[in-house]
Amino acid sequence: MNLTRRVFLKKSAVSAASISAALASMNVAAPAFCQTANANEKLNLAFVGVWGQARETMANMRGENFYALCDVDSKRLGMAAQRYPGAKHYADYRKMLEELDQIDAVIVSTPDHSHAPASLQAMRMKKHCYCEKPLAHEVIEARRMAEVAAENKLATQLGTQPNAYANYYETEEIVKSGAIGKVKEVHVWTCTGNTTGYVQGVGGRRDVGIPLGNGWGQPADQTLPPSGQTIPQELNWDLWLGPAKQTEYHECYVPANWRRWWNFGSGQLGDFGCHYMNLPIRTLQLLNAKTVKAQGPAVNAYACPEWLRVQYTFHSANEFAAPGITLNWYDGNSIPEIAKLLEEHKIPFRGNGILFVGTEGDLYANYNVHTLYPEAKYADYKMPEPFIPRSIGHYKEFLEACRQDKPELCRIPFSYGGRLTETVL
């Protein structure tokens, strides 16, 4: 019988616990080897992708054993190896997974197009899996990832860190306590994306004084970049492409701008939607849209849109949502529309945000704050006593779920994260 390290530890712990229980019934102290210690056992973690968002994830998991590091960029892999010198190094995650049976969990922090292949191989090998958002590049991939996680009873977590923030729980409790009545519509907008200086919505309305923000879009007439650039020596371009269509290397794709291109990324909605759309979707149970309408520039076969205005309409009402509730998304050149709506509701414009419009009032929220409007009406409002159990921490949820073999400890597993991803793709 071929036992994985995780299963062996679990079976060993059960056996030790059984012996301890038997001895206890006879008032005999259990020997040290029978003490169940695997609750404190360090997990063997393997990281697929070691830069960008991966650095934050690694910093939050540094109490575990960094067993293997994998990256297609040898320079970045080398820098990560200096920080975590005990880890094994790989360029190809397939080889890593084939050679290392002692891995407990795999953390995937690659470009979107490689999320599913790396995660699926890990889960099929019975490894717990943490994957950055969006969960996948294609809807069918997201569904398959949820299925494989369930089939193997694995702990999984989508990298949507704000899901664990206290402010998200407080906002949810305000809505569910009925403070603004039934929610009729929700508006979600984002003005941020990357830090490369590209301004989403170039040529858009700047006369309104609203920042259109950086984002992951391209002009409607954008074509594929010219070929012929030399691939950097440290980059394995074939491994970077992975399952994507064969594409000539160009510096416009890496290290971060792949998000702008359909072959590799999902645009602004796919990138930030999992963060900001998650709060209203989880609070109001909005996972099955009746209709979806989108406005934007002319469709480009290669490049993600420069701006989007999307409206989702949902079938049924529930105790928190009114019939026909709509969920609205704005980015780029559609930002002035939400700015005007906020002005009508006498709510200041504050960068990224979420607005719940209820039958009795409005609620603005972002990652860290929430405010009820009209402010005069809610001047004496007192928060309800907390009634939703708080998270122990986004990363800690996953690590404890792996350690204890309890997938239910994860608050944003692939079963939910996959459906959230479908909404934004």
- Give the pLDDT confidence of 208-240 residue by residue, as tens digits: 344 444 567 777 788 888 787 999 999 999 999
pLDDT in tens, 282-310: 999 998 899 999 999 999 999 999 999 99
* Residues 202 and 118 both lie in one domain: no
Q: Is residue 218 part of a domain?
A: yes
* Residues 278 and 312 both lie in one domain: yes
The reported pLDDT for the residue numbered 9 is 53
The reported pLDDT for the residue numbered 202 is 30
Q: Is residue 232 part of a domain?
A: yes
* CATH number assigned to the domain comprising residue 50: 3.40.50.720
Average pLDDT over residues 59-76: 98
- Residue 384 in tokens: 């309800």
How close are the terminal C-alpha atoms of the chain, in Å?
Answer: 42
Whether residue 139 has pLDDT greater than 70: yes
Q: Label residue 345 by pLDDT band (50, 70, 90).
A: very high
Instruction: Name, of 195-209, 314-328, 370-384, the range with top average pLDDT.
Output: 370-384
The reported pLDDT for the residue numbered 416 is 98
Q: Is residue 98 part of a domain?
A: yes
DSSP secondary structure letters along 268-326 = HHHHHHHHHTHHHHHHHT--SEEEEEEE-S---SSB-BS-EEEEEEES---SSEEEEEE
152, burial (CB in 10 Å: exposed 0-12, middle 13-18, buried 19+) = middle
* CATH number assigned to the domain comprising residue 299: 3.30.360
The reported pLDDT for the residue numbered 16 is 46
- Count of structural domains within the chain: 2
The reported pLDDT for the residue numbered 213 is 46
- Range list of β-strands (E), 34-193: 44-48, 65-70, 88-90, 105-108, 128-132, 156-159, 183-190
* Residues 95 and 121 both lie in one domain: yes
Which among 370, 380, 372, 309 is positioned nearest to 340, based on CA atoms? 309
Q: Label residue 197 by pLDDT band (50, 70, 90).
A: very low
Whether residue 32 has pLDDT greater than 60: no
* Residues 52 and 135 both lie in one domain: yes
* Residues 199 and 287 both lie in one domain: yes
Tally of residues, the chain: 425
How many CB atoms lie under 10 A from the CB of residue 129? 28
Sorted by sequence, the CB contacts under 8 Å of residue 34 that are 6+ apart come out as 16, 17, 19, 20, 23
* Residues 142 and 207 both lie in one domain: no
Q: Label residue 322 by pLDDT band (50, 70, 90).
A: very high
Domain that holds residue 196: 178-237+259-373
* Residues 58 and 154 both lie in one domain: yes
The reported pLDDT for the residue numbered 11 is 53
The reported pLDDT for the residue numbered 34 is 40
Q: Is residue 75 part of a domain?
A: yes
* Residues 157 and 182 both lie in one domain: no
Q: Is residue 405 part of a domain?
A: yes
Pairing of strands 353-358, 321-331: unpaired
Q: What is the mean pLDDT of the chain?
A: 88
The reported pLDDT for the residue numbered 10 is 56
Q: Is residue 168 part of a domain?
A: no
The reported pLDDT for the residue numbered 323 is 92
* Residues 336 and 187 both lie in one domain: yes
Whether residue 158 has pLDDT greater than 50: yes
Core vs surface per residue 216-250: b (16+ CB within 10 A) or e: bbbeeebeebeeeeeeeeebeeebbbbebeebebb
* Residues 107 and 223 both lie in one domain: no
Q: Is residue 169 part of a domain?
A: no
* Residues 79 and 219 both lie in one domain: no
* Residues 305 and 348 both lie in one domain: yes
Instruction: Name, of 9-23, 314-328, 354-368, the range with top average pLDDT.
Output: 354-368
Whether residue 81 has pLDDT greater than 50: yes
Q: Is residue 6 part of a domain?
A: no
Q: Label residue 390 by pLDDT band (50, 70, 90).
A: very high
With H, G, I as helix, E, B as strand and everything else as coil, classify residue 81: helix
